[in-house]
Structure 1
């Protein structure tokens, strides 16, 4: 059997649509900065009011038409009909998008509110595959890359961690290609998730998602958004740091320690949550020398192919 070099670790970022003209200007700066690290893709969140969802579609369109970045379009099924979701998938394909992150989304606070036709993300994955089959000519007989969420720490609405693993199994059976994890703060959380998923029959790649947290307020907000208890030592270090530069260094090094452990345990790459701030994300990938690793791996593969 021939021996081929290992693929480079994947690199991706998460962005969200800007809510103001000033935020849009700042995002343009971040897009240019992130593009220099040559990520595989950038994911764009999809949630909130109809105006916010329209902003997502506009940002995806902008990435396709005006940048070198490849978008991974988020799609949530809460509050949507099957018809509207199918229309969005067709819209993405028409734009030239070739990757979708399929998620349920947050349930509305009002228990009487319409939650849509699909209660779980696996049904959305199946719908994406169904629409994909209608566009085999436009896709060159290829496939959309469909990602899903995974949870190293029990989802707040889940009865158990093992239930989360079983949900991931269902998403894979529905046609998911890979999973991206929610944030976590203990290195062993990612490893335990992968081990449990593999034992349950999950074979798709599971990419660790990390965020270089650079302030106590952002850490508290992250904990509220995700339901994941933050690391107390990280919180204390951020609280007692002398200035913004030290807080950023602390957050970057903490995230780097999570990624180093994950890559050492076989993770296929890293997904960086940015909060639309590129500075910490770029510090993180440079601290890990991900651009260098990815370049060296590509050169090694090119040399192998040309030999």
Structure 2
């Protein structure tokens, strides 16, 4: 008779995990932007997020600054970077080199994205380039497999994008779910949604995805809706009409403080609706600004797991000659 398994012998596990918290940042374009970004990073670090996503420009346009930011987050802060990586217009060999470089820096999370199609169609058809996020996921897993002995203390977590509203290039919302399922089968571990404006969009996405067989966590991406111009712009990009009442309220705001109050309240309502629908976490698109993001977090009052304080890594000591 075989002994009982540990699962059988131990007490039942907690019913639910703590709510995950993450932010999104983009690499700075100049020194002034860098100073502002690092002020934001220090403020966000105090909230002890689970990870911080670092965006990656179309066709790797800001590759060096993105890699530098990820490296500095690892060496100068207690934050864990989730590195964005796009594949359209880039060859498998080029991407494998970038993935290896990320892993060598200590990155253990990658958000695998197709990326925006270039204006020049020929650039997307570059010989040997990858066309879909699914291809990139499989490439990451192949690179990981080749380096498995180096990653014994931390395998790679791969995230992907999910769409509460129909992707602008998709024939249907059903097709979007089929794509998400294909990404899961290729090795994706979790998904983060694009921005949404209506409370039922996240819940409907999760319902469709679960019925189709998607089992990975689907984390709602929430943007502080404090800027009328930004909300209108994202409405155009996503093809989803923002709430007319929100647009009207933002348009009538007397000053930035009132606009921020209105937008934070609307964002909190969206995030709470997602959490009520079973969301495992909240991902905040910060646009490198911490004030509104922290306002949203404060009003949500998320229960965060207590962790030992983690200090910043000390700089390497200088060699002293005797």
Q: How many Å separate the matches in 2 of 1:210 and 1:137?
A: 37
Corresponding position of 1:17: 27
SS for the counterpart of 1:112 is helix
Instruction: Tell me the matched-pair count.
Output: 296
Find out whether 1:234 has 2:250 as its counterpart.
no
Find out whether 1:60 has 2:82 as its counterpart.
no
1:252 shift after superposition: 1.1
1:152-176 Cα offsets, whole Å, 9 max, x none, are 0000000001000000000000000
1:98-146 Cα offsets, whole Å, 9 max, x none, are 1000000000112232345211101100000010011112211642000
Q: How many Å separate the matches in 1 of 2:194 and 2:124?
A: 26
Corresponding position of 1:182: 194
Corresponding position of 1:154: 166
Q: How many Å separate the matches in 2 of 1:26 and 1:170?
A: 39
Q: How many Å separate the matches in 2 of 1:252 and 1:193?
A: 23
1:58-94 Cα offsets, whole Å, 9 max, x none, are 1111111111111000000011100011111101110
Alignment of 1:166-245 (within 5 A): 166-245=178-257
Q: How many Å separate the matches in 2 of 1:90 and 1:49?
A: 18
Alignment of 1:248-267 (within 5 A): 248-267=260-279
Corresponding position of 1:305: none
TM-score (norm 1): 0.92
Aligned partners of 2:226 and 2:263 also within 8 Å: yes
Find out whether 1:4 has 2:9 as its counterpart.
no
Find out whether 1:285 has 2:283 as its counterpart.
no
Structure 1 unaligned residues grouped into runs of 5+: 300-307
Aligned partners of 1:252 and 1:283 also within 8 Å: yes
Q: How many Å separate the matches in 1 of 2:193 and 2:187?
A: 17
Corresponding position of 2:319: none
SS for the counterpart of 2:150 is coil
1:6 shift after superposition: 2.2
1:228-260 Cα offsets, whole Å, 9 max, x none, are 322211111111012111111111111111111
SS for the counterpart of 1:153 is coil
Which of 104, 115, 124 is the equivalent residue of 1:114? 124
Q: How many Å separate the matches in 2 of 1:204 and 1:41?
A: 17
Aligned partners of 1:213 and 1:251 also within 8 Å: yes
Q: How many Å separate the matches in 2 of 1:155 and 1:210?
A: 17
Q: How many Å separate the matches in 2 of 1:215 and 1:262?
A: 21
Corresponding position of 2:42: 32
Corresponding position of 1:73: 83
Provide the alpha-carbon RMSD of the alignment.
Answer: 1.6
